[in-house]
A = this chain, B = another copy of it.
Amino acid sequence: MRGFSPRVELLRESPTRKIDALRERLKQERKDIILLSTGQPSIPPPREIREILMGLLAEDSMELYGYTPSQGLYEVRDAISEDLKRLGGIDVPPEQIVLTAGGQGAMFSTLAAILEPGNEVVLIDPTYFGYKPLLDYFGAAVRKVRASLEGGFQPDPEALKSAVSRKTKAVILVTPDNPTGRALREDVAKAVADLARDYDFWVITDEAYKTLIYDGGHVFMYKLAPELTISINTFSKDPAIPGWRLGYVYGPPEAVRKIKLVSEEVVYCPPSFAQRLVAIYLRSDVRMRYIREVVDAYRRRRDVAVQALRQYLPEARFAVPSGSMFIFVDLSAYVESGERFAETLLEKYGVAVVPGAYFSDYYKAAVRISFVAETPERIVEGVRRIAEAVEEGA
């Protein structure tokens, strides 16, 4: 009897695809769109690294095209191990790293490896919209803990404590956060680590933006609780190869072994050409210089965006992001539904943003603004148009 899995009915298209489709239509109508919606970097990988790849493509050998081990090439995992030591002072041997098909592959394989139906998982609200559909798919019961704008979007340890129990399988923390740009404070991270030990749950820490930090530093949860931290990572943001699909997970040996088994079933091995790029990049002199230049460029744009928001939308509420690519702007002084507003804003004013409702059950009048894809001038123009839109009652 043909038909489909009932579980696949739980899956929906990524919510941003709706905005993408509308944007695509307007592009075909040759409308100029200011892109404040994307999580995609705007500075390509370093030219020096690309030139080495060009040399590899010139060689008449299968070396560049062959399968790699399902865990990923040893040299890449070794380079990541050194990078984690340099960035965070943590010791993660190559055996405790598994390369995946992007951050999404890392999320899927990790959740597949640990979850069974009925498990409780705690999510922060707001948080990245990619986790909820996966948790639904794997049959987990989701509990949300609100993080408030007033508190700089730091999760409240007391609220976390009342949300967890012996039935909690994992708490998922994105830091620096998408959509709020909040970098987890060390005291909050410590409180989470203590709770995780008390109640014996996994801390899944999504560190996609760990090198995009503008103020302060990044807290490596693994440093605080290596035995129960599973970390999700990607090369989509640094060195800016989102379409090439390479990410990684690091964590305790047994967790990594299981995640590798799942990853082998879903993708066989991580994409090899991206692995070559990353191996060269992480080991080159360019690595730290490139990311410093990128961070400086993005910080300038963040400051321009913050300044424009204060000037044009004085009643908008937001926390200045310490990291990531985004500002999460509460427009409740101006609009009721961020979702409806985002559609009108795009259609009538040519500015793309992502509605807050995609990330939060509370901040439904918010929008997420990306400050990395456009020039400073166009960011200011984008914010000016948002102000124009709210004034005209959009």
Are A13 and B62 also in contact (CB < 8 A) when A2-B228, A112-B5, A244-B273 are?
no
**CB distance B241 to A65 under 8 Å?**
yes
Q: Which of A84-92, A172-180, A263-271, A340-348 is the interface stretch?
A: A263-271
**CB distance B1 to A201 under 8 Å?**
yes
Name the distance in Å between A372's Cβ and chain B's nearest Cβ: 11
Q: A167 vs B3: C-alpha distance in the bound complex, in angstroms?
A: 11
From B6, B101, B240, A65 is in contact (CB under 8 Å) with B240
Name the distance in Å between A49's Cβ and chain B's nearest Cβ: 10
**CB distance A66 to B50 under 8 Å?**
no
**CB distance B169 to A1 under 8 Å?**
yes
Residue of B nearest to A63 (CB): B44
Binary B-proximity of A186-203 (CB < 8 A = 1, otherwise 0): 000000000000011110
**CB distance B57 to A53 under 8 Å?**
yes
Q: Is the C-beta of A30 less than 8 angstroms from some C-beta in chain B?
A: no
Query: Which B residues are CB-close (under 8 A) to A17?
Result: 70
From B41, B44, B201, B255, A60 is in contact (CB under 8 Å) with B44
Q: A196 vs B29: C-alpha distance in the bound complex, in angstroms?
A: 46
Are A7 and B50 also in contact (CB < 8 A) when A266-B105, A272-B243 are?
no
Q: Is the C-beta of A245 less than 8 angstroms from some C-beta in chain B?
A: yes
Q: Is the C-beta of A338 less than 8 angstroms from some C-beta in chain B?
A: no
Name the distance in Å between A333's Cβ and chain B's nearest Cβ: 33
Q: Is the C-beta of A291 less than 8 angstroms from some C-beta in chain B?
A: no
Q: A255 vs B3: C-alpha distance in the bound complex, in angstroms?
A: 9
Q: Is the C-beta of A93 less than 8 angstroms from some C-beta in chain B?
A: no
Query: Which B residues are CB-close (under 8 A) to A267?
Result: 101-102, 104-105, 108, 245, 266-267
Q: Which of A113-121, A210-218, A300-308 is the interface stretch?
A: A113-121
Name the distance in Å between A204's Cβ and chain B's nearest Cβ: 11
Residue of B nearest to A65 (CB): B241
**CB distance A65 to B47 under 8 Å?**
no
**CB distance A108 to B13 under 8 Å?**
no
Residue of B nearest to A100 (CB): B267
**CB distance A245 to B268 under 8 Å?**
yes
11 residue pairs from A and B, CB less than 8 Å apart: A4-B113, A8-B258, A8-B261, A13-B70, A40-B62, A64-B243, A65-B244, A133-B265, A244-B271, A245-B269, A271-B273
> Which 6 A-B pairs have CB atoms at the shortest separation, nearest pair first?
A243-B272, A104-B268, A11-B261, A54-B54, A101-B267, A271-B271
Binding site for B on A (CB under 8 A): 1-8, 11-14, 17, 40-45, 47, 50-51, 53-54, 57-58, 60-62, 64-68, 70, 101-105, 108, 112-116, 133-134, 137-138, 166-169, 199-202, 228, 240-245, 254-255, 258, 261-262, 264-274
Given contacts A67-B243, A101-B266, 15 further A-B contacts (CB under 8 A): A4-B254, A8-B112, A11-B262, A11-B264, A40-B66, A40-B67, A42-B62, A50-B57, A51-B58, A101-B101, A101-B105, A101-B271, A243-B271, A243-B273, A245-B268
